Each structure stands twice: as C-alpha cells, then as structure tokens.
Amino acid sequence: MAYKVEPMQVSDSQEVMAIERLSFPTPWPMGAYRYEIRHNPRAYYFVVRPQEEGAAQCEEPRRGLLARFRSTDQRRPIVGYGGFWCSAREAHISTIAVHPRLRRRGIGQLILIAMIEKARSLGADHITLEVRASNLVAQSLYRKYGFQVVGRRRGYYSDSNEDAVVMAAQDIDRPPYSTHLQELRSRLMERLKDDMKQGDGYEELGQESRSGEKIGG
C-alpha cells in the first residue's frame, strides 16, 4: 500500500478529528482546523491517505512529496495529518499525528518531509517545534531531520504541566540541508516500497505530535 500527501480540506475535518481525539489528551476543537484552513493565510495543513500500489507517482523527484503523492479519484481513509505556520523566513510545526494503529511505519516522517519541503518552497530558512521533555523517541527522530534543542517552555502542556523542549532546524534553504533531506527521503521511499511488498497494512491504522508532542519512526 502506497501513501499520498495532499492539502487538508474542510471536508476532511471529521476524519482528522477522529485521529486528533485518539492522539491528544487536549484535542483541538474541529472549528480550529476549519478556521485555519479557511481563514489563516499563513497556515498549511496536510493529510495522508493510502492508495493502491502503483498509484503513487514517484517519477518526479525534483517536485517533492506533495507532487509525487498526488490524489487519485479513489479517496481512502485519512491515516495521518500535520500542519505548520509560516511567517517571513520562519516555519513552525503546530501539529502532526498518525492513527495509533499505524505507529512506526514511516507515515509521520512522510508528513514531516512534506511540511519541510513546503516550508522551503515558501522561502523559510528555519523551522521550529515543541516536543514533550519526556518524549525522547520524538526528539531522536527530529534530530535525524536536523532539529536541535534551542530552548525550553516551562509547564507548556496543560494536561500534565510538563515542559516543552523547543527544537529548530536551521538553514533548511541551504544545499547541505537539501542533500541531507533528499537522502532521508530516498531511504523513506525505499522503506515504504518494502512495506508495500509485504502487503496492505493501513487498516492497522501512529505517531502523534502536537507541536512535537509525540512521534515515532
């Protein structure tokens, strides 16, 4: 089973909220996503859907994941989503989540790469996020994508008063980062192809991260 990344639509909000409620102790209201999509020109949100093997258009490596995983006429269930805000040269990841039964299948990385690529296309030169201080798995994955700890927000998560670690990836518009991202993307594509050979798996509906709250590979 292949996956496609596409812009989130207002009509996706119910499916998104189903994953949201499974993923976060303090879920956003549905109206928040609808507002972001309709009225926030600085917000960019995406969803991931499975699609039949062979439907993904992987022959356009220079156009990025959003181009390579185009929509088909057949709409499958949403298995993950993510979003970020972009202002001037800074992008900030606000949320990323994958259905809990699709943990560690690379879908979270697929969303993360798509958001980084979009931020780069908008002219951002760095991207930030928050992650729970206790979530060492997520922090490790973000480091893989060039994020480093740059600060800490005390009592940031209202459900537990846990601190947030602030992480940032710098110089994402520079050639060294572009090369690194391309390498990670190529490895992920190979991993997803291998998963496809092993058969369907999307019904084992992941990773979830409210501004980096929780994520896995």
Residues classed as catalytic: 130, 142
Report the 10 Å Cβ neighbour count for 194: 10
DSSP classification of residue 213: S
> Distance between CA atoms of 91 and 40, rounded to whole angstroms?
14
Reduce the DSSP state of residue 138 to 3 states and report it. Answer: helix
> Distance between CA atoms of 199 and 112, rounded to whole angstroms?
24
Q: How far apart are the first and last CA of the chain?
A: 17
- How far, CA to CA in Å, does 183 sit from each of 72, 96, 165, 180? 27, 22, 26, 5
Cα–Cα nearest to 18, from 127, 109, 98:
98
Sign of CA dihedral 156, 137, 168, 25: negative
> Distance between CA atoms of 8 and 61, rounded to whole angstroms?
22
